[in-house]
Amino acid sequence: METLHLISNSMPLRGVSFQALTERATAARQAGAPEILLAELAPTLTFGRRGPFPEDLTLSEDALRARGVSVQAADRGGRTTYHGPGQWVVFPVVPISVFSPDARAARALAAALVGALWDTARKWSASDTALRSTEEGPELGLWIEDRKLGSVGFRIVDGWITHGVSLNVFATPLSFLGLRPCGLDAAPGFLRPAPDADFLAIGESFRNSVKARLTRPPAILASVSVGS
């Protein structure tokens, strides 16, 4: 069995559907094959298990689909959020036991994923002076002033982490179209003002930050088998 620090990074998935990403994550979990997936998705709005939340939308689902934005349910907590071009998503498909011996460690996991957002933003932002993080509640994620830069939404299924964390890098015309993100009256924030040559490097840095935040000290980690 591999431990988390030995999992090699797969190629980033670009332009894939949200459904395709979740199917790959499910297949990895069911096969007992840990994988930390990095993806830039096709334009999609997803809502958590308690949705849909029509109050989160400012356009109808038909209007959104006409503009190329799909609307889908997601098997996670949280309200409605956007995934699409200009944003990186990381799904850490690994057993929660790698991160904590407590299978109920949801709050600590949320804090770790927010920490990965923070690490990446500090490395790649021109200034980190306006960054702030929230580790619980409807504002869960990373903020730059009053704009949400990154979001966390996950579920623990059969002892495995599903779904994960997203980071907004640059805006496109479809970014957060017709959406009050997470039901909040707050504009989204972005790490960069426009697309640039750093986008792929930012994604890999983000994935590595998630891996680092989930990896326990080597002496402890060595006693935990991934997939157990």
Averaged pLDDT for residues 109-120 = 93
Contact indicator for 178, 69 with CB cutoff of 8 Å: yes
Task: Give me the residue label for tokens 């990381």.
Answer: 90
Strands (DSSP E) contained in 56-105 are: 70-73, 81-83, 87-93
The region of weakest confidence among 58-67, 91-100, 189-198, 202-211 is 91-100
Q: Which fold has domain 4-221?
A: BirA Bifunctional Protein; domain 2 (3.30.930)
Q: Give the whole-angstrom CA distance, residue 208 versus residue 28.
A: 19
Stated pTM of the model: 0.88
Q: Any residues with CB less than 8 A from the CB of 17 and at least 6 apart, and which?
A: 41, 42, 44, 70
Hey, is 148 helix, strand or coil? Answer: strand
pLDDT in tens, 150-192: 999 998 989 999 999 999 999 999 999 999 887 778 889 999 9
Positions marked catalytic:
182
Structure tokens given for 188 = 């989204």
Q: Quick check: helix, strand or coil at residue 142?
A: strand
Average pLDDT of the residues of the chain: 86
Query: Minimal CA–CA distance to 224: which of 121, 98, 60?
Result: 98
